[in-house]
Amino acid sequence: MPYCVKCGLPLKADDEFCAACGAATPKFRSEEYNVSGKDVADRVSQLLHEGNVTRIIVKDEAGKTLLEIPATIGVVVAPWLAALGVIAALVTNCRIVVERRE
């Protein structure tokens, strides 16, 4: 689910403007990657440093969300990577969903 870049309100996928503040909504595209549990922290770290990523969602094999990382400016990476280390120990394969701003 995308969020307004101005006020943070959750938006519907087809909204062109935020209902609360009237700001135009940016367009996003999603990508999915399948990675093994031991490689998930390295892949997420790499994605966070790419720059145009707005959100990263780590899901298990059944599609259940394990961790959602908002990749905003100033996000501290270390706590997220520690959480990913725990996830890597619990699952064998993960699906990483990446939202990018167009």
If one looks up domain 28-101 in CATH, what number appears?
3.30.1490
Q: What is the pTM of this model?
A: 0.66
Q: What is the pLDDT of residues 40-65, one digit of tens each?
A: 878 887 887 777 788 888 888 888 88
Distance in angstroms (rounded) separating the CA atoms of residues 42 and 26: 28
Is the pLDDT at 80 greater than 70, yes or no? no
**Beta carbons within 8 Å of 77's beta carbon, 6+ residues apart:** 45, 48
- Nearest CA among 60, 58, 61 for reference residue 84: 58
Mean pLDDT to the nearest integer, 57-77: 76
Query: Residue 14 phi/psi, 5° resolution?
Result: -100, 5
Is the pLDDT at 74 greater than 60, yes or no? no
Mean pLDDT to the nearest integer, 27-32: 82
Is the pLDDT at 27 greater than 80, yes or no? no
What is the identity of the amino acid at 77? V
Q: What angle do CA 17, 19, 21 make, to 5 degrees?
A: 85
